[in-house]
Amino acid sequence: MNRRNPLLAGLLNMLIPGSSHIYVGNDRRKFILSFIGGALMIFLAFMVGNNIQKMSVYTLPQGVCMGILVLLVLGYLFNNVMKKASRRNGEIDSAAYYQSMRTDTSSDDRVTALADLQKQRDEGLISIERYEAKKAEIESKEK
């Protein structure tokens, strides 16, 4: 699992709401839900801003109210995803530290090595990609 840049994740989320879920966690379901939710929030900010601007009570320059509301929504989207990416990076660092502290039970026996690898995967110490790579490596050594 690779670390993700929180700033890039936030900028992606501002450009296309929800796209950071693909970048950070490769989660398409959250992308679709966040895209719909983010687009709806931006649309509502436009509508509310335009309606407030059209009221004769407020004498703000054209587009200021709408711009402020849209900036607030984009700021929320940016900040929310930056926190998520930072949290994910912390989880990766913690898992890597825990993995480095575990004693390596390398074994010449293929069955034992695969069992140890499966145990590490079940404990969440290694990612699916790393699990598959190590599994292929163990199986290739046997042949």
**pLDDT tens, residue by residue, 98-139:** 766 565 555 567 888 888 888 888 887 788 888 898 888 888
For residue 95, is it within any domain?
no
Could you tell me if 68 and 114 lie in one domain?
no
Could you tell me if 13 and 82 lie in one domain?
yes
pLDDT given at position 40: 93
- Parent domain of 115: 102-143
Per DSSP, the chain holds a count of helices (H) and strands (E) of 6, 0
For residue 96, is it within any domain?
no
Could you tell me if 112 and 68 lie in one domain?
no
Q: Residue for token digits 């501002």?
A: 14
Domain count, the chain: 2
SS3 113: helix
pTM of the model: 0.56
- Whether 125 contacts 101, CB under 8 Å: no
Could you tell me if 14 and 41 lie in one domain?
yes
